Amino acid sequence: MGEHAPASRQYVPLTCHGHSRPVPHISFSPLDKQEAYYMISACKDGNPMLRDGQTGDWIGTFLGHKGAVWQARLSPDAQTAATASADFTAKVWDTHSGELLYSLKHNHIVRAIAYPFDQSRMLATGGFEKILRVYDLQELKQLGSANANNNEPVAPLTVEPSQAFEIGEGVHKEAIKFIVWARDPSVIITASGDTLRWFNLPERKCIRAIKLDGEIKSCELVSLAPSYSAPTDIGGGQPVLAVAAGKTAYFWGGMRAEDEIRHIKLNHGIASVGLDLKGRKFVVGEDPGTWARVYDWDSGNELDVHKGHHGPIWSIAFSPDGNIYATGSEDGTIKLWKNCEGFYGLWKGGVAGSSAE
């Protein structure tokens, strides 16, 4: 593999078109039983899109928001999708039919949304209200079924803010931009301004706060599917919290994502960061700038520069098998970058003339 490494850096990315405005957030689903996975994108055009994760092919658009969509995530079982919007709602959708299931009302712009790490019945939201809320989707499902007329389709359920649990009342002083549910289901992490906070869910209180090197621009829990992870991976086979703030990329591990693995200061600002757990490298979007830079985890040396986007890169996500990563940009496009040798997805192969191809 070593002799092929330089050539593998020349893979041309796949470009996913369809959005008409900037793409602030992208994320992948876990692997399903057929080893397939999906990608969802948030967009300021108000139309989040579902795609095949390996090829980027469009599957459907969730229609119903009346403002920019800031974040979008798929549930761990991929049965639902959740979106956070400037129209003062978070919405939950059926991924098979595209139908709206729940509209979660808020009193200001919703910027952040998160499912638990490995179950799909809860949902956390946050935004310009500076309030962290947790909804019990299973309870909402039962409520919707109880209100349904057997002779008619089930209408979307409108949910008032009072139906959620508030966590850490009065703690946030700035808008909540990101929410991460640790592998330990009792711990939720928020990014607000330049501060990361850890919350104990049963006690509904903040248990830790850390001020970082500037405003937090991205904050994601990175993990591989169990069949692909190993103790030799970064984080020892556990998910890793990857955060971009100022000119520094931070990484925390462990069940509660609170054990700092390392932080790496670069000579430029960082708008987003993604982590290749198995390949031991990380990718950042420049801030300001339009390039994605790839760095070696162990040495910190720059390995590659991707120059395909024409606007800042706001989100970077690795697939659950680690074989590709996606970048979402201000230019309204998503690009998929191959991160493995040989045939994969729509790529014909790696090194020209290699017998492996």
What is the pLDDT at residue 5?
A: 39
Q: Which helix (H) or strand (E) holds 5?
A: helix 5-8
Q: Which helix (H) or strand (E) holds 7?
A: helix 5-8
Q: Is a pLDDT exceeding 60 seen at residue 1? A: no
What is the pLDDT at residue 35?
A: 86
What is the pLDDT at residue 76?
A: 96
What is the pLDDT at residue 151?
A: 53
Q: What are phi and psi of 96, to 5 degrees?
A: -85, -45
Residue 218 contacts residue 314 (beta carbons within 8 Å): yes
HEC string for 256-301: CCCEEEEEEECCCEEEEEEEECCCCEEEEEEECCCCEEEEECCCCC
Distance CA 122, CA 144 (A): 16
Q: Is a pLDDT exceeding 80 seen at residue 345? A: yes
Distance CA 275, CA 289 (A): 20
Average pLDDT, the chain: 91
Q: Is a pLDDT exceeding 90 seen at residue 356? A: no
Q: Is a pLDDT exceeding 50 seen at residue 350? A: no
- State the average pLDDT over residues 272-299: 96
Q: What superfamily would CATH give domain 2-338?
A: YVTN repeat-like/Quinoprotein amine dehydrogenase (2.130.10.10)
- Which pairing describes strands 157-159 and 100-105: parallel, antiparallel, or unpaired? parallel
Q: Could you tell me the two tokens for 329?
A: 């940009």
- The fraction of the chain above a pLDDT of 70, given in percent, is 91
Cα dihedral angle (325, 328, 331, 332), rounded to 10 degrees?
Answer: 110
What is the pLDDT at residue 4?
A: 35
Q: Hunting for tokens 């920019």 — which residue is that? A: 68
- Amino acid 121 reads R
Q: pLDDT tens digits for 47-98?
A: 999 999 999 999 999 999 999 999 999 999 999 999 999 999 999 999 999 9
- The fraction of the chain above a pLDDT of 90, given in percent, is 85
The reply to whether omega before 288 is within 30° of 0 (cis) is: yes
What is the pLDDT at residue 357?
A: 31
Q: pLDDT tens digits for 147-192?
A: 655 555 568 999 999 999 999 999 999 999 999 999 999 999 999 9
What is the pLDDT at residue 153?
A: 59
Which residues are CB-contacts of 337 (< 8 A; sequence separation ≥ 6)? 11, 13, 292, 306, 324, 325, 326, 327
Q: What is the DSSP string of 134-191?
A: EEEHHHHHHHHHHH--TTSPPPPEEE-GGGSEEESTT--SS-EEEEEE-SSTTEEEEE
Q: pLDDT tens digits for 143-157?
A: 766 665 555 556 899
Listed by start position, the domains of the chain span 2-338
Helix, strand, coil percentages, rounded to 5, for the chain: 5, 45, 50
Q: pLDDT tens digits for 221-248?
A: 999 999 999 999 999 999 999 999 999 9
Residue 67 contacts residue 59 (beta carbons within 8 Å): no
Q: Could you tell me the two tokens for 216?
A: 């937090």
Lowest-confidence pick of 21-25, 66-70, 338-342: 338-342
What is the pLDDT at residue 146?
A: 60
Q: Which DSSP symbol is given to 8?
A: H
Residue 335 contacts residue 309 (beta carbons within 8 Å): yes
Which residues are CB-contacts of 141 (< 8 A; sequence separation ≥ 6)? 101
